[in-house]
Amino acid sequence: MFLSKLSLIGFKNYESLEIEFNAKVTGLYGNNGQGKTNLLDAIYYLCFGKSFLQQNDTQHIRFGSEFFLVQGDFVAQAEVPKTHQISIGVKKGAPKAIKCNAKEYERIAEHIGLIPLVMISPTDTELVGEGSELRRKFMDGIISQYDRPYLLALQSYNRTLKQRNALLKHFHTARFFDPSMLEVYNEQLSETGEVIHKTRLSFLEFFVPLFKSYYAEISGGSEQPELIYQSTLNATNWSDGFLKSTEKDRQVQFTTFGIHKDDLAFELDQHPLKKFGSQGQRKSYVLALKMAQYTLIADRSKKPPILLLDDIFDKLDENRLTHLLGLIEKMDAGQVFITDTEYDRLNRVLGKMHWTYTLLQVTDGALTA
């Protein structure tokens, strides 16, 4: 997919914007706080129906406005080009509206995967330091872009999990406990959870070798990276797991067994990356994860994802960034958007590639060539 036109009204610090993109690579430069990342977030919104910042939708409405509208024209790169016009409207006190070619989706799941996208940002290092939920979301976000049954199973699992947790809290409030009432939820969780667990195992069979290959390319070091899937389902079955956890669930008032507790262990030379990895090793590790993410989505969806590189100089020096962009160029990546604070540096790095590129200055929510 190629984003040919972007329109914004009342989105963050953008009062109004309409711009067309023609080059394979668009470089956005300007001082911090001018709207570079906000523009990337608008593109992310159009692909996923939400912000990559995980904030409430109404928080992205421009101060003093009652709504925002983000609209983009995406051209499918095929023998017969087809344009998908995606629009997302958020108004205070009203449901979010997501439309494709003027037709509103009934469920956002119908949209996920239509326009594959990968974003690399300074917050990615949180994958190393934060809790397991972030790493599960990373894994789920990749698979969901090319596997619709997985996404639906995940949504169903989360709905059932919420209901089971509510029942556990009700037991506590009502001061009684009937484990038989949990069985219907246990059965539903095991059905959808088994699909999720098996799909994650299959995903990692392909993802891990890609990740290791990219880590070697990016780091140039001799460390041996490992990415280990940690799941209680690797060692037990659903019925035994629920049976053993029933009493604990009763005490803590939430479900302690299931795929919602899975994690990915990041290691270098058999040591936890979080505890022993240097800042450079962490950056290389995360970039390798992202590159593997891009390659796998492109392969499975048969569409090169849009690539967003936000403030990438915060992660790498100029030489390492040039090397990274060289890897991206060899992958024959799709459309690329990259931000930086310095025009000269951005122009110098992109000039070393064989891409067509355009540089746009971002100043207080306005773009100029």
Highest mean pLDDT (candidates 53-57, 190-194, 278-282, 353-357): 190-194
pLDDT score of 260: 97
What is the percent of the chain with per-residue pLDDT over 90, rounded to a whole number? 75
Q: Indicate whether 221 pLDDT > 90.
A: no
pLDDT score of 79: 61
Q: pLDDT tens-digit profile of 72-104?
A: 999 987 666 789 999 999 999 899 999 999 999
| Mean per-residue pLDDT, 217-235 | 89
pLDDT tier, 325 (very low <50, low <70, confident <90, very high otherwise) = confident
Q: State how far the Cα of 168 lies from the Cα of 171, in Å rounded to an integer.
A: 5
Q: Indicate whether 151 pLDDT > 70.
A: yes
Q: State how far the Cα of 266 lies from the Cα of 137, in Å rounded to an integer.
A: 15
Encoding tokens for residue 302? Answer: 């048969």
Q: Indicate whether 220 pLDDT > 90.
A: no
Secondary structure letter of residue 321 according to DSSP? H
Q: State how far the Cα of 287 lies from the Cα of 215, in Å rounded to an integer.
A: 8
pLDDT score of 317: 73
Judge if pTM exceeds 0.85: yes
| Mean per-residue pLDDT, 175-188 | 95
Residue-averaged pLDDT of the chain: 92
pLDDT score of 279: 84
The secondary structure of 29-81 as a DSSP string is: E--TTSSHHHHHHHHHHHHHSS-TT---GGGGBPTT-SEEEEEEEEEE-SSS-
Q: Indicate whether 328 pLDDT > 70.
A: yes
pLDDT score of 352: 87
pLDDT score of 80: 65
Q: State how far the Cα of 312 lies from the Cα of 163, in Å rounded to an integer.
A: 41
| Mean per-residue pLDDT, 210-226 | 88
pLDDT tier, 203 (very low <50, low <70, confident <90, very high otherwise) = very high
What is the percent of the chain with per-residue pLDDT over 70, rounded to a whole number? 99
- CB-based contacts of 272, cutoff 8 Å, min separation 6: 265, 266
Encoding tokens for residue 191? Answer: 């059905």
Q: Are 291 and 327 in contact (CB under 8 A)?
A: yes
Q: Indicate whether 147 pLDDT > 80.
A: yes
State how beta strands 306-309 and 336-340 pair: parallel
What are the distances in angstroms from CA 40 to CA 35, 87, 143, 156, 211?
9, 15, 22, 30, 25
Tell me which of 11-20, 31-40, 51-60, 285-294 is least confident.
51-60
pLDDT score of 133: 95
Q: Are 142 and 289 in contact (CB under 8 A)?
A: no
54 or 213, greater pLDDT: 213
Q: Indicate whether 185 pLDDT > 90.
A: yes
Q: Are 201 and 139 in contact (CB under 8 A)?
A: no
